[in-house]
Amino acid sequence: MIPLRFASSETLPLMSSTKCHEQERSALLEFKQSFFKVLSLRALWPSAQARIWSNVLAPVPDAIANLSSLTSLVLRYCNLRGTFPTTIFKLLRLQLLDLGKNPELSSHLPEFHLHSPIKSLSLMQTNFSGSLPTSLGNLAFLSEFYISNLTQLTMLDFSHNKLSGEIPSSLGKLVQFSYLNLEMNLLSGEIPTSLTNLTNLTSLDLYDNQLTGQIPAKIIGLTWLTYLDLSFNRLTGPIPENISNLESLDYPNLQSNNLNGTLRLDVILKLQHLDILQLSSNEFSSMIEPGMNASLPNLSALSLASSNLSELPIFLSYQSRLQWLDLSQNRIYGPTPPWFLNVSMSQLQFLNLSRNSITSFTAFKWLNLMTLDLRILDLSKNKLSGVITPCPSNLSDSLIVLNLNSNNLYGRFPQLHNDVCGLKMIDVSDNQLQGLLPRRLANCSALEFLNIENNQIVDNFPSWMGSLSYLKVLILHSNGFHGAIGEPEARDQFPNLRIVDLSMNNFSGCLPSGYFDMWSAMKVHTADDAHYYGTLEISIAFSGDEGNYDYSMTIINKGNLLEHKRILAYLNVIDLSSNNFIKEIPNFVGSLTELRMLNLSNNALTGSISLSLANLIELESLNLSSNKLSRMIPPALAQLSFLAFFNVSNNHLSRPIPQVNRFTTFKIDCYGGNLGLCGVPLTKKCGNPVEAPPPPPPSGALAEKLD
């Protein structure tokens, strides 16, 4: 056997005609020439292998289908694009095919012929679509998607694709299955009862599909099952009564379905190996708790958000390893009971009690609690009242998220006890906090999100926070901030700021042109603009990955007050409305070319509309209403092709409205209060009507008589 290794600079060695047909030699040459990347290829009889080791950025050549002796083809993580030739699946000697982690590689699964030699097949995180073929049963030697004989199949992974249709009942014949992963596809229909024949199954993952019907009652026969994820589907009915028969189960995830009936925690919590339990966002009508001494030695994460709870489950007081607790969006009312933060909660990292009706919280007596390692504290949208006590030093070090918005808290903004601060997100909006912003916030070097809107903070613009290089969102809306925003004291102030809302305060003086020039993040296109702002460095036990806590906010968007439950990274916003800013709109604002929303309304701005605004090619909303702007609407603004909201009402503008693009489609109210404007959509027509010439001056005797 002669191994053939070559790169783009090497030549393909000649092979003996007794060992290689000319057609295969030609195919190998085309294979090499198509990639021009590092490639290791062994063409051996009877086993040929091809492996691509680097990002090839190319389609897979059809010529590979001519390699009739190919037994192994691994193209994992190569950034392949285009359509994968389905004929390759039918190569008569192909045993291993790995196309995993090529998200731009598309195709579909063909019908497999009887006695296909494929033993291992991986399509994880590709763009394959279509239905799962019923001929999967013809893969007689498949032992894993990784694999030996169909009845010996142990692992199948079709996750992260676009496979549709129903799950074939024939999968129930794969009785040696230990792992089945079909997560993040478009599968529909009911879970086949035939899957309950897979008595060796240890992991079943059907997360994020469109499955309907009930959880098969016979699932309790899968006694080796340790991992069960049926979340984010459309399943209905109750949780199977005897789910406690799954004695090995440590991870049941049933959240975000339409499960109903009584939530029998007294049954579920008999599973002594439970590590993570996720049941949030279903339609349970009531809950039966376990007995007082239901201690689960391994329970680290519990999620019961949107589960119709009316009180804190008392069994929590016996959980000694709990790190993650989400009881948000329930009907929990009144003060938290004294037992809630006893010594058994000392390992808690994530606590979310938001959107309840909690009136007081035991946790504000943390000063003597020395072992609490809390990363996320979310008590938003409750009925908490009173003063926020200062954060103890051991807590301010470890706390990453502090969310207390929409309560009845008053007094001064909470102080930090030392110069160490790990906070990335602070939201104390919609309370009654007073006084100055604590200057020690400047020590929160990782801070990304600060929202203090709708309070009674009286202070100057926090220029001392300009060194916070990670700060993306700054919302000071509706407080008592005042004074002029001077020139930045140093270079590169607020370099990552993308959303700034200073509206409804008492700022005065000129618009902050110096800061406009420095807000460089609003000038740069975000390559991955589909992701959401949030903190991703929180270790979450139940996911095995880094966690995600999404940031949210409420802002004026295109003229309407909208809640953004998640904030897309491309959303660049400046709202300086309802202040006392004067003079002209500075040209520096035109340098913020990635800006999506600009609101300068309800100020005392004068001069003309800056022509530099025409550079804001991504702008979707522009509000300049209720100022003292004069002259014409610049026709150059017509090049703002994404502009969906435009308001210049109540100014001193004149001359014709540009009769191009969308300017004639905006409502009349967007132009009202400008007596000099004319043209569609206003009823006032433009034009210069012919005026009567003035009378000639008197002359001669008449002029003398008039004198």
Mean pLDDT of 218-238: 94
pLDDT of residue 628: 97
Residue 109's pLDDT is 79
| Overall residue count recorded for the chain in this entry | 707
Annotated domain spans of the chain:
1-107, 473-526+570-678
Which phi and psi (to 5°) does residue 262 adopt?
A: -85, 130
State the fold for domain 473-526+570-678: 3.80.10
> Residue 195, exposed/middle/buried by CB under 10 A (0-12, 13-18, 19+)?
buried
Identity of the residue numbered 661: N
Q: How confident is the model at residue 530 (pLDDT cuts 50, 70, 90)?
A: low
Phi and psi torsions of 554, nearest 5°: -125, 125
Q: Which residue has the higher pLDDT, 471 or 694?
A: 471
pLDDT of residue 300: 87
State both tokens at 345.
Answer: 């909660």
Residue 42 has pLDDT above 50, yes or no: no
CB 658 within 8 A of CB 637: yes
* pLDDT at residue number 71: 85
For 236-343, list the strands marked E by DSSP.
236-237, 251-253, 258-264, 276-278, 283-288, 301-303, 324-326, 333-334
In angstroms, rounded to a whole number, what is the distance separating the alpha carbons of residues 687 and 456? 51
Measured distance CA(302)–CA(278) in Å, rounded: 6
Phi, psi of 196 (to 5 degrees): -75, -5
pLDDT, tens digit, for every residue of 609-665? Answer: 999 999 999 999 999 999 999 999 999 998 899 999 999 999 999 999 988 877 888
Q: How many CB atoms lie within 10 A of CB 453?
A: 22
Residue-wise pLDDT for 386-429, tens only, equals 887 765 444 556 788 889 999 999 998 877 766 778 889 999 99
pLDDT tens-digit profile of 68-82? Answer: 788 888 888 778 888
Distance CA 459, CA 434 (A): 10
Q: What is the pTM of this model?
A: 0.68
